[in-house]
């Protein structure tokens, strides 16, 4: 055979093989490239959703209230789908089609989370067609959903809760955890002793915890908190500066256009009250609202209910002792949890308690703790068992506010377990529901499963308010895309993170607490003119909108346009110290008591004033839950 014939035969054999291999490689490359592209689009859409949620909640006076929060989350979800649809527009995907590829979106909040997920409407036993004489549906709004239809909506809120049962101790209670050291306890502790209590946890009467000294002075990390050490906070609304106090998450401003002072004895040295003062807050429409607190009635005495309320608000603004109350209440709550309560201690239901004595509560006593085959089954299901965090340790041992404490380890374990189990159930439940009726589905059968979330992302979820979005089933070559994204909301009103306290400097800049340029000489002092400690929550530096009476919109900075972010730690970051485990540890290691005082006062003040529905007992304090916060005035 001639060489040339051999060559031709070789080509005939090899060429198709080369073509097929080449196509295969190109196909794999295209799949990988498309997967990368989808990852980026998913992260961008999730970020857009978080940004929308941020903007809505920061500017919303009622952003903490549940109904308002649900509305803000639903708006954020709409933004997510709009953004995702726009990203995929070129391939022809419509919004309604995209929803079929998103089995769930999770919004983790301070003490639990919502899942936005398609669900199958299984309503039965209701006449959905019944109408009244005007033709309006009586029982059912078919515009929202129809029976047996797949509908998208927010599922009920899931708390980071876990039950503890110990028959020998007569324990059967639930603890709800949060993103920091705040907990809520509900249930029976001891025989026939129902408890409903909540608060921040610290170690007590230890060198590293909160101590109580004589004369009701509370000491934390060498800093004393006295009832007489009050503040008068000030910030701008538009171009005018007002004194204010945040009560139950809402800011109340003091307007003193006229003066008529009288002396009032509050049992703490006497105070001057201005009868002509008025109080307002910025409502949802962005305008000043004076309706909540009645004016002082000069025809009545100070014991008249409306005057008492007036006086309390005035004192709360002019002589703000929120920081003191925070450490006092934290001390009392922690003492009750760990052992014996202080004299006349009452829980949030108003019941006198002698103490819960939970210092020996163990990690393995919670309902979710696993042993034996249960551990293996959980791992096979892709759920991290609690035993992975340790076999046996006391949850409330040591300094519970620190990142490396047993409490924090247990808290993170519970949060992860609750999210993994419920999210996994929601996704697989959705999978079986939607795949039941394939003829009606535009996109055919898709197996939805919960992807494995990385440890970095779990760290973000366990310590921040986040959005977790899943995108599954899109065809990329020969396989289906299965991805997720986690984006943290770093500008949240949900809670006060230890890292979110900024410090004011003499040069009219603000910086992070771990800015290396901070020292006692350049921290703004508390003076008569600026009668507050120079620690500010970072949300207060965001631009807000105010609507004047004539309808003009004004954008303003509450702390004033003159205060600028430092280039060492806010706009830039070239002079920040590493904080190590957590901000508490960093502040503890500073030798500067000026910085410590400013930081701890701000942290305590902001946390005590923030909105928390668990704090308030309606039977005791009625619908005006502010009474709880004004009790100490």
Give CA–CA dist 628/247, Å, rounded.
9
Please, which residue, 33 or 377, has the CB nearer to another protein?
33
Q: Is 573 in the site for another protein (CB under 8 A)?
A: yes
Rounded least distance, CB 538 to another protein, Å: 10
- 625 phi/psi in degrees, rounded to 5: -70, -10
Which of 95, 342, 397, 576 binds another protein (CB under 8 A)? It is 576
What mask, x for binding another protein by CB under 8 A, covers residues 518 to 547?
-------------------------x----
Q: Is 445 in the site for another protein (CB under 8 A)?
A: no
Give CA–CA dist 438/445, Å, rounded.
7
Location of structure tokens 């529905």? 613
Binding positions for another protein, 9-38, rule CB under 8 A = 10-11, 14-15, 18, 21-22, 25-26, 28-29, 32-33, 36
Which of 205, 459, 507, 631 binds another protein (CB under 8 A)? It is 459
Give CA–CA dist 288/255, Å, rounded.
11
Rounded least distance, CB 58 to another protein, Å: 13
Nearest Cα neighbor of 204 from 84, 355, 65, 33 is 355
Rounded least distance, CB 577 to another protein, Å: 10
Q: Is 40 in the site for another protein (CB under 8 A)?
A: yes
Task: Give me the sign of the Cα torsion angle 528, 229, 179, 403.
Answer: positive
Please, which residue, 181 or 485, has the CB nearer to another protein?
485
Rounded least distance, CB 573 to another protein, Å: 4
Rounded least distance, CB 101 to another protein, Å: 20
Please, which residue, 126 or 571, has the CB nearer to another protein?
571
Rounded least distance, CB 29 to another protein, Å: 5
Strands (E), 498-600: 501-504, 509-512, 535-537, 544-547, 553-556, 564-565
Pairing of strands 564-565, 509-512: parallel
**Do the beta carbons of residue 387 and residue 369 sit within 8 Å?**
yes
**Do the beta carbons of residue 435 and residue 446 sit within 8 Å?**
yes
Rounded least distance, CB 499 to another protein, Å: 5
Which of 98, 233, 446, 491 binds another protein (CB under 8 A)? It is 491
Nearest Cα neighbor of 558 from 253, 318, 249, 279 is 253
- 337 phi/psi in degrees, rounded to 5: -65, -40
Please, which residue, 11 or 520, has the CB nearer to another protein?
11
Which of 189, 427, 486, 536 binds another protein (CB under 8 A)? It is 486
Rounded least distance, CB 477 to another protein, Å: 13
Q: Is 490 in the site for another protein (CB under 8 A)?
A: yes
Give CA–CA dist 288/244, Å, rounded.
13
Which of 38, 45, 47, 337 binds another protein (CB under 8 A)? It is 47
Residue 181: both structure tokens together: 């050291």
Give CA–CA dist 178/162, Å, rounded.
12
Secondary-structure percent of the chain, ordered helix, strand, coil, rounded to 5: 35, 25, 40
Q: Is 294 in the site for another protein (CB under 8 A)?
A: no
Which of 507, 554, 593, 624 binds another protein (CB under 8 A)? It is 554
Stretch that binds another protein, among 197-205, 415-423, 431-439, 561-569 (CB under 8 A): 561-569
Nearest Cα neighbor of 535 from 601, 604, 609, 607 is 601
Q: Is 133 in the site for another protein (CB under 8 A)?
A: no
Q: Is 443 in the site for another protein (CB under 8 A)?
A: no
**Do the beta carbons of residue 595 and residue 520 sit within 8 Å?**
yes
Rounded least distance, CB 487 to another protein, Å: 5
Give CA–CA dist 513/600, Å, rounded.
11
Rounded least distance, CB 32 to another protein, Å: 5
Q: Is 593 in the site for another protein (CB under 8 A)?
A: no
Q: How many residues of this chain bind another protein (CB under 8 A)?
A: 57
Which of 299, 456, 521, 591 binds another protein (CB under 8 A)? It is 456
Location of structure tokens 């809505």? 56
Q: Is 487 in the site for another protein (CB under 8 A)?
A: yes
**Do the beta carbons of residue 97 and residue 150 sit within 8 Å?**
no
Stretch that binds another protein, among 77-85, 135-143, 184-192, 555-563 (CB under 8 A): 555-563
**Do the beta carbons of residue 181 and residue 326 sit within 8 Å?**
no
Residues written for the chain: 633
Rounded least distance, CB 604 to another protein, Å: 19
Rounded least distance, CB 561 to another protein, Å: 5
Give CA–CA dist 437/287, Å, rounded.
51
Q: What is the DSSP string of 450-489?
A: PPPPPHHHHHHHHHS-EEEEEEEEEEETTEEEEEEEEEE-
Residue 268: both structure tokens together: 């703490």
Rounded least distance, CB 625 to another protein, Å: 32
Q: Which residues on adjacent β-strands are paired with residue 198?
A: 184
Give CA–CA dist 175/197, Å, rounded.
10
Rounded least distance, CB 21 to another protein, Å: 7
Please, which residue, 286 or 339, has the CB nearer to another protein?
286
Helix axes 455-463, 406-434, angle to 10 degrees: 110
Rounded least distance, CB 22 to another protein, Å: 6
- Spell out a b/e string for 420-455, using b for 16 or more CB atoms within 10 Å of the CB, else e: bbbbbebbbbbbeebeeeeeeeeeeebebebeebee
Which of 261, 445, 555, 618 binds another protein (CB under 8 A)? It is 555
Which of 43, 70, 123, 294 binds another protein (CB under 8 A)? It is 43
Contacts of 497 (CB under 8 A, 6+ apart): 179, 180, 464
Which of 499, 517, 522, 617 binds another protein (CB under 8 A)? It is 499
Query: What does the radius of gyration of the chain's CA atoms come to, in whole angstroms?
Result: 29
Please, which residue, 68 or 517, has the CB nearer to another protein?
517
Which of 488, 539, 547, 620 binds another protein (CB under 8 A)? It is 488
Rounded least distance, CB 87 to another protein, Å: 14
Please, which residue, 25 or 130, has the CB nearer to another protein?
25
Which of 12, 574, 591, 623 binds another protein (CB under 8 A)? It is 574
Please, which residue, 15 or 264, has the CB nearer to another protein?
15
Q: Is 565 in the site for another protein (CB under 8 A)?
A: yes
List of residues contacting another protein (CB under 8 A): 3-4, 7-8, 10-11, 14-15, 18, 21-22, 25-26, 28-29, 32-33, 36, 39-40, 43, 47, 50, 456-457, 459-460, 463-464, 485-488, 490-491, 499, 512, 514, 543, 553-555, 557, 561-565, 567, 570-574, 576, 579, 583
């Amino acid at each position: 055979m001639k060489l040339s014939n051999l060559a031709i035969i070789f080509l005939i054999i090899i060429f198709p093989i080369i073509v097929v291999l080449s196509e295969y490689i190109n196909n794999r490359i295209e799949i990988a490239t498309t997967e990368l592209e989808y990852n980026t689009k998913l992260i961008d859409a999730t970020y857009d959703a978080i940004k929308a949620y941020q903007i809505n909640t920061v500017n919303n006076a009622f952003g903490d209230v549940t109904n308002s929060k649900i509305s803000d989350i639903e708006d954020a979800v709409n933004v997510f789908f709009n953004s995702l649809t726009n990203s995929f527009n070129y391939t022809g995907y419509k919004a309604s089609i995209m929803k079929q590829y998103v089995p769930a979106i999770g919004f983790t909040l301070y003490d639990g989370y919502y899942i936005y997920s398609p669900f199958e409407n299984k309503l039965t036993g209701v006449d959905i067609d019944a109408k009244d004489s005007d033709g309006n549906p009586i029982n059912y709004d078919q515009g929202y959903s129809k029976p047996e239809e797949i509908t998208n909506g927010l599922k009920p809120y899931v708390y980071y809760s876990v039950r503890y049962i110990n028959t020998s101790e007569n324990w059967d209670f639930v603890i709800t955890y949060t993103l920091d050291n705040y907990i809520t306890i509900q249930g029976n502790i001891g025989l026939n002793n129902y408890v409903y209590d909540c608060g921040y946890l610290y170690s007590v009467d230890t060198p590293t915890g909160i101590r109580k000294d004589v004369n009701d002075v509370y000491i934390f990390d060498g800093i004393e908190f006295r009832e007489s050490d009050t503040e008068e906070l000030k910030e701008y609304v538009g171009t005018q500066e007002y004194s204010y106090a945040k009560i139950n998450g809402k800011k109340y401003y003091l307007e003193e256009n006229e003066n008529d002072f009288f002396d009032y004895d509050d049992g703490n040295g006497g105070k001057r009250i201005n009868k002509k003062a008025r109080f307002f807050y910025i409502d949802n429409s962005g305008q000043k609202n004076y309706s909540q607190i009645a004016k002082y009635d000069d025809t009545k005495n100070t014991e008249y209910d409306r005057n008492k309320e007036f006086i309390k608000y005035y004192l709360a603004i002019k002589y703000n002792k929120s920081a003191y109350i925070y450490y006092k209440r934290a001390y009392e709550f922690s003492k009750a949890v760990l052992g014996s309560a202080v004299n006349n201690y009452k829980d949030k239901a108003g019941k006198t308690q002698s103490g819960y004595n939970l210092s020996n509560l163990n990690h393995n006593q919670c309902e979710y703790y696993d042993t034996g085959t249960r551990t293996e089954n959980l791992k096979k299901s892709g759920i991290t068992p609690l035993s992975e965090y340790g076999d046996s340790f006391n949850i409330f041992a040591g300094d519970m506010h620190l990142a490396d404490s047993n409490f924090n380890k247990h808290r993170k374990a519970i949060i992860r377990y609750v999210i993994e189990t419920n999210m996994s159930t929601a996704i697989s439940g959705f999978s079986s529901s939607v795949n039941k009726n394939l003829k009606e589905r535009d996109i055919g059968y898709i197996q939805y499963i919960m992807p494995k979330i990385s440890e970095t992302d779990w760290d973000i979820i366990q310590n921040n308010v986040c959005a977790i979005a899943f995108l599954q089933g899109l065809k990329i070559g020969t396989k289906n895309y299965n991805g997720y994204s986690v984006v943290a909301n770093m500008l949240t009103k949900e809670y006060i993170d230890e890292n979110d306290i900024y410090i004011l400097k003499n040069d009219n800049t603000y910086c992070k607490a771990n800015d290396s340029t901070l020292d006692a000489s350049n921290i703004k002092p508390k003076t008569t003119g600026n009668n507050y400690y120079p620690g500010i929550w970072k949300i207060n530096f965001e631009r807000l909108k105010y609507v004047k009476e004539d309808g003009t919109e004004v954008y303003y900075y509450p702390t004033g346009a003159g205060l600028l972010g430092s280039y060492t730690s806010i706009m830039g970051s070239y002079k920040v110290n590493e904080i190590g485990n957590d901000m508490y540890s960093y502040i503890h290691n500073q030798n500067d008591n000026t910085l410590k005082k400013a930081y701890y006062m701000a942290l305590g003040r902001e946390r005590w004033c923030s909105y928390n529905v668990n704090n308030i007992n309606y039977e005791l304090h009625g619908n005006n839950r502010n009474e709880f916060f004004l009790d100490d005035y």
